Amino acid sequence: MAAAQGGNTQIRQMVNFILQEAHEKANEIRIKTEHDFNIEKQMLVHNAKLAIADEYKSKARAREVEERIARSTAVGDARIAKMKLRDGLLTQLIETAKGSVAAVTSTPAYPELLKKLIVQGLIKIEEKEVTVLCRSQDVPEAQKAAPHAVQEYKDIMMKETGLNVDPVVTVNTAPNKMLSDAKYCGGVVLTALHGRLVCDNTLDARVQLVYDELLPSIREQLWPIIN
């Protein structure tokens, strides 16, 4: 009986020992699991923070690029609008100048001006046979002015160069070759060599020439550079 009780005691002790070992092992596993879980959680949180930070930086850079593009576009649009406005004002200026110059065609001074324009054209073109083109309403005055222009041209060439020239100057009367009223406000166009040589001495061309020469100073007066 005593032996049986001793055996049972040993069995209980062994069972208790095994249970104790099992509890300790389970507790060890639980602690390790919690430790590993916390480390994994910290890593996940850290990586998530890094990902969020990278995404924020990426979006910030994208927004900055968009803002730069928008600013550049706005500046470009403003520059284009300013250039268009300036070009419009300059176009208006030259049209106003042409209108003022065109007024001379209705004055007594216009026949003399036509003669001088023909003389200048002859000096530039330097050809034996020359045709003068003008507006239809200017044909009578141009025909009157042509002989005087030829004589003045001959006098100038003799005085300045010693050459005795005698060009044949004809004023065009063909309707299809008249200078258009819509395009020209007055003056003449001289042609030679069957139209291959052309000297535009219209009032419009003269205004454009003056405009081109004075454009820098015109711009400076209208839009002075502010330091």
199's tokens: 């000297």
Query: 108-118 pLDDT, tens per residue?
Result: 999 999 999 99
d(CA 220, CA 225): 7
Mean pLDDT, rounded, for 173-196: 93
Contact 189, 133 (CB under 8 A): yes
Q: Report pLDDT for 1.
A: 60
Q: How confident is the model at residue 227 (pLDDT cuts 50, 70, 90)?
A: very low
201 SS3 class: strand
Q: Report pLDDT for 122.
A: 95
d(CA 194, CA 93): 36
Contact 187, 134 (CB under 8 A): yes
Q: What is the CATH number of domain 108-214?
A: 3.30.2320.30
Counting Cα atoms < 13 Å in the Cβ hemisphere of 209 gives: 7
Domain-by-domain residue ranges, the chain?
A: 1-106, 108-214
Mean pLDDT, rounded, for 166-183: 93
Counting Cα atoms < 13 Å in the Cβ hemisphere of 59 gives: 6
105's tokens: 């065609």
Q: Report pLDDT for 174.
A: 95
Q: Report pLDDT for 121.
A: 95
Provide the strand spans (E) within 134-217. 168-171, 187-192, 197-202
0.75 exceeded by pTM: no
Query: 10-42 pLDDT, tens per residue?
Result: 887 887 888 788 788 878 888 888 888 888 888
Average pLDDT across the chain, whole number:
85
